[in-house]
Chains A and B, each alone.
Chain A
Amino acid sequence: MSALIRATNLSIGYDRPIMEGLDFEVDRGDVFLVLGGSGTGKSTLLKSLFGRLTPLGGSIEIEGVGDPSRLSGRRPRFGVSFQSGALFGSMTIAQNVALPLEQWTDLDPDTIAGIVDGKLRLVDLEGAGDKLPAELSGGMLKRAGIARALALETDLLFLDEPSAGLDPVTSSELDDLLLTLNRSLGCTLVVVTHELQSIYRIGTRCILLDSATRGIIANGSPAQLRDESDDPRVQAFFHRASRGSVARAGAAR
């Protein structure tokens, strides 16, 4: 299987590095999870992957795109769903989804309206097109953000904490949607999350970031890391335990 995204010796951060020496690959068709505790740099890594933050060192290569930071101002080759949805507050949901189509295609308004309806139906937001973002719930905002990210039929989607702040049922429905996108539409997904339920349900591969070592401490499938890793930090993450209690349990064994 070919690597769709290849990060080599990547160093990321704003003024100084948060993570250094990151090496990983995302294969086509993966649901690739970026895991880690709060403040480890997951969202910073995601921003670097989709080109909104220039890496402090190393390189990112996306197949057919090259360096994603050079894509600015050109037709998007991938979609991005932000943690808050990041929908434009002065536009309706339908106008938000239509924006990339109006910018990058010569389609007539009726056709665009038809595509927008289809995208909204796909994310279960049929009938919400005339609403403003302020009138939607958190889960609906995230789904609308995904619909906008899918508007240009890209086959790579970056998602920043799609389940954060959602109730378990809504979160599970969102996971269903992501699985549909991956399995039915063949979308490769790169997802930042720390929701264990989502991790086991949707993830095919993951990396676990650690702020103390400023690097990747585990790379593999979620189930494999949970069952086979003997690193207390990995165990602490996958068993929702504090690092101290895992270390004590390890010492007792």
Chain B
Amino acid sequence: MVAVVDETVDAEGRRALRLEGTFELSGASELRSGVMRVLSRGPIQRVDLTGVERLEGGAASVLADSLCSAGEIPEVIGARPDVLAVLHLYTVEGQCPARLPAPKRIGFFEQVGASTIDLFHTLGRMLSFVADSTSAALRALRRPGSIEWPSVGRQIERHGADGLPIVAVIGGLMGLITAFQAAIQLRRFGADVFVADLVSLSLARELAPLMTAIVVAGRSGAAIAAELGTMKVSEEVDALYTLGVCPHRFLVFPRILALVVVLPLLSLLATFVGIASGAFIATSILEVGFRQFWISTQEALGFADILGGVVKSAVFGLFIGGIAAESGLAARGGAEGVGRATTSAVVSTLFWLVLLDAMFAILFDLWNVY
């Protein structure tokens, strides 16, 4: 049956909104515009539902809401009990529900202010984390027996040994790409032999530590943030506090220590695999023998280059572990909070890795390390 929305005026001059037919969710927009059209012509005193065969919940909600936009629901007449019952579900005893105040609009300056306060809160939280973790580390150094060594061992296995294949593959590919690029350029100048210098130095100083750190940040940093975040939202961290166990000593310190230990080792592995794949490319497409490549590498690569990469990797490990653990322990609000913490950990870590790498480049140059 076609739904009709119109108005009637009785003998006493009272205006009424008249509905007739079947009103379903699919026709809710037409119902709203019809009711609003009638209301726009002036106030109504009655709602005549005599001809309404069926009123679905969605339509009843729209009808009540439209009528309430004029202030109140007028007297409803002629409605069948089932129709009236549905309409009453969307009203308060047949009257308009109290309107909630419109949410306060947040202005530009308030948003800037709130973000600034948030920033200070985040800085405060990070400083507090650094203080707690440093205190846990100092206590552990004073009493090495208090360190959860089995946990450190498990973390080394998880973040180090389990990450060997991917780090080796990435290191190999980096050596291969560098050697290819170097080969193309150096061949033009007849300087083929310098490919060994370029591959070994760039890998040991920059590429291997940075790429390994990026892989570990994506793999282990995300895992640490997600693991600690899940422990936080499932109240396991609270439980540790109530047992008098410091989460920084029990959870954070073993993870950071493991990354500080494994990252230099992984970086060294990436360096050697990268140099090996560079040697393979150099001997395959350039007129450089393996022995010549090996001698050039030995001459070019100094102890300071390897040590610089190792130190850099250890600092990268400290930051990856620290940022991931801090993000995880700051997680709030269930699965979504854990997701946010993990994303934040990876993004922040990548930013810090690049920043630290730049700082190391400047410092090593100032100190004449290379």
- How close is B196's CB to chain A, nearest CB, in angstroms? 46
Shortest C-beta distance, B206 to chain A (Å), equals 37
With the chains together, A8 CA to B244 CA distance in Å? 25
CB–CB B239/A82 < 8 A: yes
User: A residues within 8 A CB of B236?
Assistant: 86-89
Which A residues are CB-close (under 8 A) to B239? 80, 82, 86-88, 145, 148
- With A86-B235, A86-B236, A88-B236 as known contacts, state yes or no: A52 contacts B241, CB within 8 Å: yes
Contact at A103–B242, with CB atoms within 8 Å? Answer: no
Tell whether, in the assembled complex, residue B235 and residue A76 are in contact, meaning their CB atoms are under 8 Å apart. no
Give 30 A-B contacts (CB < 8 Å), ordered by A residue.
A51-B241, A51-B242, A52-B241, A52-B242, A71-B244, A74-B244, A75-B244, A76-B242, A76-B243, A76-B244, A78-B242, A80-B238, A80-B242, A82-B235, A82-B238, A86-B234, A86-B235, A87-B236, A87-B239, A88-B231, A89-B236, A100-B243, A100-B245, A103-B243, A103-B244, A103-B245, A145-B239, A148-B239, A148-B243, A149-B242
Other than the given A78-B242, A84-B234, A89-B236, 11 more pairs (CB < 8 A) read: A51-B241, A52-B242, A71-B244, A72-B241, A72-B244, A76-B242, A82-B235, A86-B239, A87-B236, A100-B243, A103-B245
Q: Is A221 an interface residue (CB 8 A)?
A: no
Q: Mark A64-86, 1 if CB is under 8 A from B, else 0.
A: 00000001111110111011101
Residues of the B chain whose Cβ atoms lie less than 8 Å from the Cβ of A148? 239, 243
- The CA-CA distance from A87 to B231 in the complex, in Å, is 9
Contact size range, B: 10 to 19
Query: CA A55 – CA B321 in complex, angstroms?
Result: 31
A142 interface residue (CB < 8 Å to B): no
The answer to whether B235 and A73 touch across the interface, beta carbons within 8 angstroms, is no
A217 within 8 A of B: no
**In the complex, A50 has a CB within 8 A of chain B:** yes
CB of A84 within 8 A of CB of B242, answer no
B246 contacts chain A at the CB level, 8 A cutoff: yes
A84 vs B230: C-alpha distance in the bound complex, in angstroms? 13
Partner of A73, one of B234, B238, B246: B246
Find residues 198-244 in chain B having any chain A CB closer than 8 Å to their own CB.
231, 234-236, 238-239, 241-244
Assess whether B242 is in contact with A79, with CB atoms less than 8 Å apart: yes
Query: Are A50's CB and B242's CB within 8 A?
Result: yes
A99 within 8 A of B: yes
Chain B: minimal CB distance from A5 (Å) = 15
Q: Interface of B with A (CB < 8 Å)?
A: 231, 234-236, 238-239, 241-246
A104 is an interface residue with CB less than 8 A from chain B: yes
Expressed in whole angstroms, the Cα–Cα distance for A73 and B236 within the complex equals 15
Interchain nearest-CB distance for B92 vs A (Å)? 9
Q: What separation, in Å, do the CA atoms of A50 and B231 have in the docked complex?
A: 19
What is the bound-complex CA distance between A74 and B236, given in angstroms? Answer: 18
A47 at the interface (CB under 8 A from B): yes
B242 to A, closest residue via Cβ: A80
Residues of A within 8 A of B242 (CB): 50-52, 76, 78-80, 149
A91-105 CB contacts (< 8 Å) to partner B? 99-100, 103-104
Among B235, B241, B243, B244, residue most surrounded by chain A Cβ atoms (within 10 Å)? B243
CA distance A220 to B245 in the complex (A): 36
A145-B239 Cα distance, complex, nearest whole Å: 9
CB distance from B146 to the nearest CB of A (A): 10
Is the Cβ of B238 less than 8 Å from the Cβ of A47? yes
| Contact B245 A84, beta carbon cutoff 8 Å | no
Interface code A41-75, partner B: CB below 8 Å = 1, 0 otherwise?
00000010011100000000000000000011111
Chain A 101-117 interface mask (CB, 8 Å, partner B; 1/0): 00110000000000000
* Residue of B with least CB distance to A73: B246
Query: A73 CA to B240 CA in the complex, in Å?
Result: 10
**Is A104 within 8 A of B244, CB to CB?**
yes
**CB-nearest residue of chain A to B251:** A88
Q: Considering the complex, give the chain A residue whose CB is closest to the CB of B332.
A: A14
- Picked from A52, A89, A99, the residue with its CB within 8 Å of the CB of B238 is A52
Whole-angstrom distance between the Cβ of B242 and the nearest chain A Cβ: 4
Closest chain-A Cβ to B84's Cβ sits at a distance in Å of 19
For B234, the chain A residues whose CB sits under 8 A away are 84, 86
Q: How far is the CA of A78 from the CA of B349 in the complex (A)?
A: 39
CA distance A72 to B249 in the complex (A): 13
Interface contact A86-B238, CB-CB below 8 Å? yes
Chain B contacts of A75 at CB under 8 A? 244
Q: How far is the CA of A76 from the CA of B242 in the complex (A)?
A: 6
User: A50 to chain B: which residues have CB within 8 Å?
Assistant: 242
**Chain B proximity of A43: nearest CB distance (Å):** 10
